[in-house]
Structure 1
């Protein structure tokens, strides 16, 4: 017998049993009419397994079970309306009531009428009409009626709010262990557990939840946090109906609060009287026991294997790039699948896979961080850097460590020694315009990574705890690509930790401590720039791996900058670079002068001249509030 036949057989058996119970109840009511209320009658030998299940799950007494059967009979067979009218002595009162039930049904008791009694608490029946309680119409909840008839469906009141969550393909081994761990915590819990799945990989969290529920034989139902009612009464009803769904069909709510975790989520979890899985990173001030499982993205090795399976059959040049790809980009399996689909679609238009793979990964990861920081498009190269040899060597060292961190940390086991201090961080100090931001651009271009400049005004908040949340969102968004984070002009945030005089000082120090901790755990490169190294806390400096001092350029270095600053295609006359190099200016100011002079030349439609540069120098000196040597500039005309 196949599954469909088994189900049909069960439905037929249930319907026969329910019909048998309704026939018994009909006979009971008919006897009551004849005997004026005396309706003793033997209970049928075969009872409805579904009705028995409802009675057992909700703790119904035999009297409450009979009320449920009476309400079902009224919905299913017209004869029950006639019988109710006769028992009420009024044909217009053709419905069940507590008065009728108390006078006719066996083992009656008044406590069944109470709001906290199962029938009303679980909304198995509805009490309708403004009459007195005992004479009010009793109406069977529609979803309960469908359940009694064997329908396997979710309450229609959840339409559009709750969605079935099915386990997809087998989980990668690391996440399979997390699913088994979650299921184990659940089994060991004495009371209905609250399981908090932490982590920002929404798809992985859902799949771990789905697979663990499958191990436990329960049905995960996905619910978005923003769909939980805000009003107290509506929220309580929603929680009770969700709990009722669990008792009826083992449907476990999985609440996705990854982007919307707030205090009301914890309140709602308390109101649920069934197991619940929460997804998010918020605090859980619960009276109930809460098991926490942190779901991470697949390991680099698992991601590499998934890349290889998805790109099987391609030439070796594509596969040679995959190990570096798996190390640099921390992606979910769904992310990788989406990128592969996009690349294969592009390949049909003649775009080679091996040229687009790295860039496609970069583009894919930008969406999560773009609203939190400004992406800088790097154009500078190593040959554009004008610094003393020692500083250039340190910059090369930074690039080398970022490039080979997987080999040192993972292959050679340094990450196993300690998780502290694995983040690669650098501090660039020096006056404004000395090339700190350009050096960050050079590193980004050399490593093939995106560079994001952090707007500190958008990160630092006057509200306690908000700065940490903003920083966490930033670092989490950057984790997938390992992008370079540039905290530009960071003195305000990274200045000396103050002596604690009030609560604001204390929380400012907490914010800084959190940032230091987050930088150390960040899998990419974080760069801080400062105009004043002396303003930085020594404890802070100890936790920075590289410190690069950008000195003010001397005459020879300024000469190099002037030679490099002009594009090769720029039309220009004879320029006196030696005279330009005598100007006591940083590289940033030199760039401003060169660009402003080029606009002057463009206006005249003439090659760039020393006169244009003299005019631009005056503009820059006025901005800097520096005195101008007109005698020297006069010789440039």
Structure 2
């Protein structure tokens, strides 16, 4: 048997020894009852009261049965020896955690025995003089515990304010009956725990979490505070979900198991106060400290929040808002969770990978540079990301790769932003864009800035004060079709992130103040997502402020002023794309980290784009004159891609490969779509392939 099994066996032996003492007292009490019963064999017993019974009831009460002192001393001595050998005596530990007196513990065991042995149901029915009442009543429990039923001190142990009732270790039924005849029962979870079962209470399923500990300087400080008696802590975090992990590490360092709670789930469904009561009891049974967050999820349930803060165990509340003293009378220790540095993140990834090495994940085979340290993930998210990466790797031999890790990290993005922006998983890379060397170099600089921002801003502390965030913002300026959106997708792919394109229809609202609310929702959701946020046609919402001539101008300026402030505190990577750089407010450009201009492609670039669009597996005829197309038709990259796609449809419709006839027809169609004149001289030697309007290509 395992060490844990031996410990539970010692605890069970102690519990059954205490039950044996109760059985001895019950036996004596039954014998006394039968000796004094005037009609022990009456089949209608309990349905009426005879004169003899009345006389007996009015006689002086017999002394209650007393416990065998020698037997009790032997049981306690054996328990002392077992605990000295490292055994876990659950009943004793629960009594210490819950602050139970010797009388409380005795009552708890007396109430528990029918759940351990069904014989005691019938015995209690006999002693209650009612075979339908098979639980110990308060009066019977006090007699069996060698306490006077008339003692106010003894009775108070089963009133609100006593630990048995307040901690939900016992439940009193029959509230309409006189106090002494109310039945006492032990909740199933308490009985199961005392018998060695550590399964969480069913009420808490879906609410309890398992925070990944993150030891460090702050957790060490918090552990010292817990060890000297600080029972309530509020850990404020700014993001990445580090708060629960700091608190969990502190509780472990203080010698406490950790019971994590997701408060956003607790506030759903049943009354959260009932759930908090069960949570407190579960923490007592386990001897654990509670780590609960986010605290803002309970601000609409102040009574439940107060109960949570005042549980009789160490409680660490976690949230992103400042602590409100009105939440509880108890004064918490306030602690800032801090920020994960790139070194911290790499260590987290390495630790989780090492833990999975037995399942085919070999951290040594991964270059440390491939670990996505720029992902803003907390310890719990990193653990889930590695698990998701391992599941993904199972599709391809089971060996983790850097791509699996990036895919697992992206899988931790919440879905809230997808309701406000269009998500795109990057499918293009550096080889897919055709740009001048200067623009391409700036894009690589932008990717490097996004990858190393935490090192520069957090470790090197090169952005101090002013409440500014750790975000990176860039402006992509250029005509339509010059590659701005594709470049944003390339940046996202380089960083292993998703691209979210903000839909302006979900942002701009004609009602005053609604646009700011929509933008706040987008920025708030984006703050918890590892992604590139693209504002296409950004001049629509980042435009210049104007002179105030009427209320419309004033409110438009308010929107711009709000955006200026919100961009300052944004912690992600945002790209503003515009066709009209001159329309962007100068105050925005000052706050931008980079401005990248996207010029119209020259002839050489146009040729590269044509070649890229018509590369295999696209079927093309031999002798395709792409140099002529690049030289003769000045179109943007977007127009070229559109024309190439049109040519593909024309070829597919004719069940043939793409030839010059399809290209010339597609270019003419693209010209008409652009509103440009189709001049015959531009088509040179291929004029004969130019179809008449409405006539399909030959």
* Post-superposition offset of 1:396: 0.8
Report Cα offsets for 1:204-223 as digits up to 9, x if no partner. Answer: 76665544322223332344
Q: What corresponds to 1:399 in structure 2? A: 444
* Post-superposition offset of 1:123: 3.8
SS across alignment from 2:61:
coil
Question: Which one is further off, 106-115 or 175-184?
Answer: 106-115
Report Cα offsets for 1:478-533 as digits up to 9, x if no partner. Answer: 2xxxx655443333343346889888975774455333432xx44xx643211121
Specify which of 132, 140, 157 is matched with residue 177 of structure 2: 132
Is 2:120 the counterpart of 1:82? no
- 2: CA distance, partners of 1:404 / 1:95: 70
* Post-superposition offset of 1:138: 0.6
- Change in Cα spacing, 1:136 to 1:454, as seen in structure 2 (3 Å) is farther
Q: What corresponds to 1:141 in structure 2? A: 186
* Post-superposition offset of 1:418: 3.3
Question: Which one is further off, 320-329 or 545-554?
Answer: 320-329
* Post-superposition offset of 1:195: 4.7
SS across alignment from 1:636:
helix
CA contact (8 A) 2:480 2:638 kept: yes
Specify which of 552, 568, 587 is matched with residue 539 of structure 1: 587
* Post-superposition offset of 1:469: 4.6
SS across alignment from 1:418:
coil
Specify which of 258, 270, 279 is matched with residue 306 of structure 2: 270
Q: What corresponds to 1:428 in structure 2? A: 476
Q: What corresponds to 1:599 in structure 2? A: 649
User: Once superposed, what is the RMSD of the aligned Cα atoms?
Assistant: 5.4
Specify which of 543, 549, 555 is matched with residue 495 of structure 1: 543
- 2: CA distance, partners of 1:584 / 1:111: 93
* Post-superposition offset of 1:237: 2.1
- Change in Cα spacing, 1:360 to 1:95, as seen in structure 2 (3 Å) is closer
Summarize the alignment of residues 35-184 of structure 1 with structure 2, pairs less than 5 Å apart.
36=59, 38-39=61-62, 71-72=111-112, 77=120, 78-85=122-129, 96-97=136-137, 105-108=149-152, 120-129=165-174, 132-134=177-179, 137-143=182-188, 146=191, 151=196, 153=198, 156-158=201-203, 160-161=205-206, 165=210, 175-184=215-224
Is 2:638 the counterpart of 1:588? yes
- Number of residue equivalences: 603
SS across alignment from 1:528:
strand
Q: What corresponds to 1:636 in structure 2? A: 687
CA contact (8 A) 2:539 2:580 kept: yes
- 2: CA distance, partners of 1:307 / 1:398: 32
* Post-superposition offset of 1:141: 1.7
SS across alignment from 2:577:
strand
Q: What corresponds to 1:359 in structure 2? A: 403
* Post-superposition offset of 1:107: 0.9
Report Cα offsets for 1:153-201 as digits up to 9, x if no partner. Answer: 467544745769598xxx6xx7343432342354467554455666445
Report Cα offsets for 1:271-301 as digits up to 9, x if no partner. Answer: 2232434566577653353645357486255
Question: Which one is further off, 71-80 or 267-276?
Answer: 71-80
Q: What corresponds to 1:235 in structure 2? A: 272
CA contact (8 A) 2:244 2:292 kept: no
- 1: CA distance, partners of 2:374 / 2:267: 41
Is 2:507 the counterpart of 1:455? no
Report Cα offsets for 1:317-348 as digits up to 9, x if no partner. Answer: 98694335465667766468658867987886
- 2: CA distance, partners of 1:533 / 1:296: 36
CA contact (8 A) 1:428 1:530 kept: yes
Q: Scaled by the length of structure 1, what TM-score is found?
A: 0.72
- 2: CA distance, partners of 1:536 / 1:619: 33
Is 2:253 the counterpart of 1:244? no
- 1: CA distance, partners of 2:219 / 2:589: 41
SS across alignment from 2:475:
strand
* Post-superposition offset of 1:67: 5.8
CA contact (8 A) 1:369 1:477 kept: yes
SS across alignment from 2:582:
helix
- 1: CA distance, partners of 2:507 / 2:333: 31
Report Cα offsets for 1:365-411 as digits up to 9, x if no partner. Answer: 332349642123115638832x4xxxx32531441464488789859
- 2: CA distance, partners of 1:492 / 1:629: 35
* Post-superposition offset of 1:454: 1.8
Report Cα offsets for 1:13-63 as digits up to 9, x if no partner. Answer: 554455446655776797797784535569755589888887776677898
- 1: CA distance, partners of 2:169 / 2:353: 54
